[in-house]
Homo-oligomer: A and B are copies of this chain.
Amino acid sequence: MIKNIAVIKGDGIGPEIVDEAIKVLKKVEEVYEHTFNLNYVKAGGEAIDAYGECLPEATVEACLASDSVLLGAVGGPKYDVQPPNNRPEKALLGIRSRLGLYSNLRPAKLFTELKDASPLKPEIVEAGIDFMVVRELTGGVYFGDHVTTSENDVEVAYDVMKYSAPEVIRIAKVAFETAMVRNKKLCSVDKANVLDSSKLWRKYVLEVAKDYPEVELTHMYVDNAAMQICKDPAQFDVILTENMFGDILSDEASMITGTIGTIPSSSLGEGTRGMYEPIHGSAPDIAGQNKANPIGTILSVAMMLKYSFFMEKEAQAIETAVQKVLDDGYRTGDMMDKHTTLVGCKEMGDLIVAAI
C-alpha cells in the first residue's frame, strides 16, 4: 500500500523520538512492501521559530492532504513569551479541531517488565492495569467560548463547557466499539450531579448503549474516577469521558503505569485520517541528549498502522518488537532499574528496528 504521512517533529525531544519512529516505519515499509511518503511540516515552537506562527495554514493543509499525521511533542519554556493565542499548545488544539479529530484513545497498559516503575503498590499492580481511555477531543470547555471581560468594573473570565447530542453520540459509539473488541465493559465518567453538559452526556450515552446490549455500561462521577484509578485500576476496561475530564484522568492513568514514556495515543475523526503522538510532553530538559524514550512514539506508529491503515500484522510486529526489547532488559533512563541495561534514544530505536 502507498500511504502519505505528514510528519511534525515538534520541539524539545520531539525531533529525536520522531527520528526513531521513522526508522521503524522504514523497516515496516521494507519488510511488508509498503510505501510511506513522508511530508515533513512544522507546528508548535518550531513553526513559531520558522514562520512566526504556531500553526501555519500550510501545515494544516498538508495534514488534511495526508492519510495520517505523526507528531512528536510541542512546547517549551522558550515560547512562554508568546501571546496566548500563539503558544505551541494552540497548534495541537488547532490541528485537533481543523482535522475534526474528536476521538482520542489513550491506552493505560502496564508492561509486566516495567511494573516496578508504577507508583502503586505491588498488590494493586499485580491485579493488572490494562484499560483504554476514550477522550472526547473537540468539544467541551476546550472549544466553547473563552471570554475575559469586565462586569461592574470587576475583571471576570469564563469558559463554556458545551456539548451537543450528536457530539456525545459519535464519541459514545467509538467507546462502545472499543469495548466490543476488548472486554465489553464501559465506564462513562461525568459529573451529572452538578453539570447540565454531563446530564446530556449521560442521556446520550444511555441512548447509544441500546445498540450495544453486550457491553456492560456503568457511570461514575469524575471525582470518584480519580480515586478509583489509583485504588483499583483493574476494574476498568474502557473509560469514556469528555475533553477536560479526559485530559486529567488519562494523565493520571498513564502515571500509574509508571512509564509515561511508553504510552502512545491516537486522535481520529469521521474518516480514517488520524493524528498519532506519544502522550508525554516535549521534555526540554533532556532534549538533544539522546536520552529520550522513543517507545511512546514508536507505539503511536503502531496505532497509526492499525487504526488508520488497517495494517494489523504490521502493527503487531512493532508491538512484539518493543516487547522483545524490553524483555531483553534494554531501557532508556526513565525506565531504568538496577537489573537492566541503559541505552540511548537512538540505540532503543535501533534495537526495536532490529527486532522487527
Q: Which residues of A contact B (CB under 8 A)?
A: 84, 87, 89, 93, 118-122, 124, 141-142, 144, 146-148, 151, 154-166, 191, 193-197, 199-200, 222-224, 226-227, 229-231, 244-245, 247-252, 254-256, 260
Please give, as numbers and ranges, the residues of chain B lying within 8 Å of A251 by CB-CB distance: 223-224, 226-227
Q: Across the interface, do A159 and B230 meet the contact criterion of CB distance under 8 Å?
A: no
Residues of B within 8 A of A256 (CB): 230
Report 23 cross-chain contacts, Cβ distance below 8 Å, ordered by A residue: A89-B193, A89-B194, A118-B121, A119-B124, A120-B121, A141-B195, A142-B194, A146-B195, A148-B200, A154-B164, A156-B164, A156-B200, A157-B199, A159-B160, A159-B194, A191-B244, A223-B247, A223-B248, A223-B251, A226-B249, A227-B252, A227-B260, A248-B248
**B230 touching A147 by the CB < 8 A rule?**
no
Q: Would A162 and B157 count as touching, CB distance under 8 A? A: yes
Quote the shortest CB–CB distance from A65 to chain B (angstroms).
28
Given A249-B226, A251-B223, A252-B252, the answer on whether A193 and B148 have CB atoms closer than 8 Å is: no
Which residue of the partner chain B has the closest CB to A125?
B121
Complex contact B193–A166 (CB within 8 A): no
From the candidates B124, B155, B200, B254, name the one contacting A227 in the complex (CB within 8 A).
B254
Task: Say yes or no: A196-B158 contact (C-beta < 8 A), given A120-B119, A121-B118, A121-B121.
Answer: yes
Once the chains are docked, how many angstroms separate the CA of A353 from the CA of B74?
57
Q: Please measure, in the bound complex, the distance between the C-alpha atom of A93 and the C-alpha atom of B252, giving whole angstroms.
A: 27
Contact B119 A122 (CB under 8 A): no
Contacts of A166 in B (CB 8 A): 154
Q: Nearest-CB distance from A199 to chain B (Å)?
A: 7
Query: How far, in whole Å, are A223 and B230 apart by their CA atoms in the complex?
Result: 15
B159 adjacent to A195 (CB under 8 Å):
yes
* Chain B: minimal CB distance from A48 (Å): 15
Most B CB contacts (10 A, CB to CB) among A118, A151, A252 go to: A252
In the bound complex, residues from chain B placing their C-beta under 8 Å from that of A158 are 144, 160-163, 196-197
A194 & B144 in contact (Cβ 8 Å cutoff): no
Evaluate contact between B227 and A159: CB separation under 8 angstroms: no
| Residues of chain B contacted by A222 (CB below 8 angstroms) | 247-248
- How far does the alpha carbon of A252 sit from the alpha carbon of B223 in the complex, in Å? 7
Instruction: Give bound CA distance, A193 to B195, whole Å.
Output: 23
Residue from A148, A251, A256 with most neighbouring chain B CB atoms (10 Å): A251
Please state if A154 and B165 are interface contacts (CB–CB under 8 Å): yes
State A256–B89 Cα separation when bound (angstroms): 30
| Inter-chain contact B230/A148, CB cutoff 8 Å | no
A166 to B121, CA, bound (A): 43
Interface contact B231-A119, CB-CB below 8 Å:
yes
Extra 7 A-B pairs, beta carbons < 8 Å, given A158-B161, A227-B255: A89-B193, A141-B161, A146-B195, A146-B196, A156-B162, A158-B160, A159-B196
Cα A164 to Cα B163 with chains together (Å)? 24
Assess the A159–B121 pair: CB atoms within 8 A. Answer: no
- Which residues of B have CB within 8 Å of A154? 164-166
Closest 9 CB pairs of A and B: A158-B162, A157-B200, A227-B255, A223-B251, A157-B196, A226-B252, A146-B196, A155-B165, A156-B164
Residues of B within 8 A of A231 (CB): 119, 255
Query: In the complex, what residues of B have CB within 8 A of residue A199's CB?
Result: 84, 148, 157
Residues from chain B with Cβ under 8 Å of A196 in the complex? 146-148, 157-159
